[in-house]
Copies of this chain bind each other. A is one copy, B any other.
């Protein structure tokens, strides 16, 4: 039975605490104070939570440089600096993500460039910046990058993205011949080997490893190890036929987090242990050196440490079929600041953070303020019946893919993002205003 005053530790930021007066603080800063100063909605990022998850990953995977933070989850200059300070590497998937990293003086050698359609501008910028790795996604790109590197008189280290025919989601992993997606070269058809061969022969490319990605919101090592097994067989063939030992193996992202009380986060240490053990064992069986395993968590680092604070507006009881009532709680944000519930049917944990709630739960729905009936943040909840207009509610685990995918639907300005640490707040991103929107007008 849910106690609405709890803050489940596996879902909420590590430094989230409900005080004796019922107010929730993060890193010692009361959320109502942040709402008062910066308005609502507002994203609040627990800096130590973010950094501690970088450290957890670094420890589990044998060193911070083996952990590539995936920018797409959430990137700002400040975030890039935190990632740098923690010694992690950084994945970028567009020219602008690279530029933001550069604006933060992120060491280019620890940057890896991704994407199915990078384009000459992006590739040239990568080579000129001296990014550590470019992950090649097509034959065209391989040829183009080799030309660009030649023109820049560089040798660019590259990886090849392969499709291992494994799909992992939550606790299930399946081996499949299904390769119907835009990313990568097929292992099964031999095109991955041919790409590796071409990369090895390309005068201005240096192949250092293969890359694969098995899914998202994965909770155990099975899918990763199944993929590693398949990809390592190609390492063995490359060794045998091309005489090259590839030093690195990038197993991508997908490390799951708990969005709701009934979910459990992936155990990073356990998965890392299982995965590294399996890779070492398979490599030994194949008679090759075990490559260094690289991983690319985004959500697992950025997700859990951030909450979105909303103010409750309209409270409305709606009679649904057969005399059942549902309470609609409207808040002052919605699908513009978090499209995931609408896009992926994602579930979230939301709680009142400005005071204790005392009443029992009733069937409720948390909705946004957009002019669209699908603008739903939490579809089926049992919220306390004493929630009122003016209460502050926070939605947990909104650090990844919420701000990053945010829109200006209904001309809503993006909320500000506030970092908190040791009792202090720091503005990371200011609120967008109508002036920002009008600034694009000719």
Give A residues with C-beta under 8 Å from B: 70-72, 75-78, 93-97, 99-100, 103, 114-119, 137-138, 140-141, 177-183, 186, 188-189, 313-316, 318-321, 326, 328, 330-332, 339, 342-343, 365, 367-373, 375, 389, 404-414, 426-430, 432, 434, 436-442
Contact = CB atoms under 8 A, between A and B. Distances in A.
Nearest to A188: B319
A314 B138 contact: yes
B330 A371 contact: no
Q: Give the one of A72, A96, A115, A328 with max B CB within 10 A.
A: A96
Nearest to A191: B319
14 contacts: A71-B410, A96-B410, A96-B412, A96-B413, A117-B332, A119-B332, A140-B314, A178-B321, A181-B318, A182-B373, A182-B375, A343-B343, A404-B408, A405-B409
B321 A177 contact: yes
A77 B319 CA distance: 40
A395 to B, nearest CB: 16
**Copies of this chain, count:** 2
Contacts of A70: 371
B442 A426 contact: yes
Given A97-B411, A182-B373, A414-B440, 12 more contacts: A75-B411, A93-B370, A93-B410, A100-B437, A103-B438, A118-B313, A179-B318, A180-B320, A182-B316, A339-B407, A426-B442, A428-B441
B405 A117 contact: no
B96 A140 contact: no
A198 to B, nearest CB: 15
A391 to B, nearest CB: 13
A93 B372 CA distance: 10
A368 B96 CA distance: 16
Given A313-B117, A314-B140, A438-B103, A369 B330 contact: no
Contact of A428 (B93, B180, B189, B442): B442
Contact of A330 (B182, B188, B332, B428): B182
Contacts of A118: 313, 369
Contacts of A413: 96
Contacts of A117: 313-314, 330-332, 367-369
Contacts of A95: 434
Contact of A116 (B321, B369, B426): B369
Contact of A78 (B316, B411, B441): B441
Contacts of A432: 440
Contacts of A180: 318, 320-321, 326
Given A332-B119, A407-B406, A437 B316 contact: no
Nearest to A215: B373
A392 to B, nearest CB: 15
B407 A407 contact: yes
A71 B408 CA distance: 12
A216 to B, nearest CB: 9
Contacts of A100: 411, 434, 437-438
Given A178-B320, A332-B117, A432-B440, A183 B373 contact: yes
Contacts of A114: 371
